[in-house]
Structure 1
Amino acid sequence: MGLPKVHRLTNWRDFRAVYEGEIRRYSPNLILRALSTAKNNSASEPTKIGISIGKKVSKKAVVRNRIKRQIKGAIRELLPAIAPNWKVVIVVKPSAVKCKYEHFLRELNELLIKTKIINGH
């Protein structure tokens, strides 16, 4: 089961805008890039999240898809705590092939707290 449709970052222009943004946080297996979409007087919109995983991680699509499923599961668990008005791209490093679900959950939580997308309490 993937992310809810309202929380998916799908358009390549949105990915490009996030990559050109200034917020970057690093962990041993993941890179988090974020862009705040909050405006002064606009209504809040849901946070949109995309995952980028290249063939450098693994040449096998089975491995890449397993990693994406694990990351999506971790995001679904953290979704209630995530603040609105953000666009986030999670880039997977090649060292993530050895990781389990719990590692992704912990690293994503730490990265989101560092970025202040999740309140640190």
Structure 2
Amino acid sequence: MALPKVHRLRHRQDFSAVYKAGLRRSTQNLTLRALQRSQPAEFNLSAVGTDLSTDLKVEPPVEKVVPTRIGISISQKVSKRAVVRNRIKRQLKAILQQFLPYIAPGWQLVIVVKPTATECGYEQFLQELKQLLISAEVINGH
């Protein structure tokens, strides 16, 4: 099953931002790049002025939860065959689907697959991804 659209990292500038400013954690077959996103700006009455604040009915700002967005990067260096690359991506997406409820909101994550990953199975990806998420402190409670 695919990741929900709100949890997908799709744009080049988002990937670039994670690569430039994010932290990096690595295992034998995977590298995790993670960047904590800032929360959206809240409405500030002091910026508008005091005379308008009496005329406006302004409700307290509702705190918006910024969803965690995830992207997977797998180059042709991993395998020239698209079938192999797509299998690895499907396995990683299925694992991320399981971890999604436990991942703290507000992160941008990029999982980079290393060429040695073609020999890995689902269980090894599961263990490595769990280890990466815990070491980057992306999972709630860790």
Which of the five TM-score ranges fits, normalised by the shorter chain? Answer: over 0.9
Aligned partners of 2:83, 2:74: CA distance in 1, in Å?
Answer: 12
Select 2:85's aligned residue among 50, 60, 64.
Answer: 64
Aligned to 1:101: 122
- Measured on the aligned residues, the alpha-carbon RMSD in Å equals 1.5
Q: Are 1:30 and 2:67 an aligned pair?
A: no
Unmatched runs of 5 consecutive residues or more in structure 2: 43-62
Unmatched runs of 5 consecutive residues or more in structure 1: none
Aligned CA distance change for structure 1 residues 24 and 89 (closer, same or farther; 3 Å): same
Aligned partners of 1:73, 1:23: CA distance in 2, in Å?
Answer: 24
Aligned to 2:68: 47
Aligned partners of 1:7, 1:75: CA distance in 2, in Å?
Answer: 10
Q: How does 1:80-119 map to 2 (within 5 A)?
A: 80-119=101-140
The amino acid that maps onto 2:73 is S
SS in 2 for 1:46: coil
SS in 2 for 1:56: coil
- Alpha-carbon distance, 1:105 to partner: 1.1
Structure 1 length as normaliser, TM-score? 0.94
Structure 2 length as normaliser, TM-score? 0.80
Aligned partners of 1:45, 1:22: CA distance in 2, in Å?
Answer: 17
Aligned partners of 1:104, 1:64: CA distance in 2, in Å?
Answer: 14
Aligned partners of 1:83, 1:22: CA distance in 2, in Å?
Answer: 16
Contact 1:38 1:44 in 2 (8 A): no
Q: 1:96-120: per-residue Cα shift (whole Å, max 9, x none)? A: 0011111111111110110110135
* Structure possessing the higher radius of gyration over alpha carbons: 2
Count of paired positions: 121
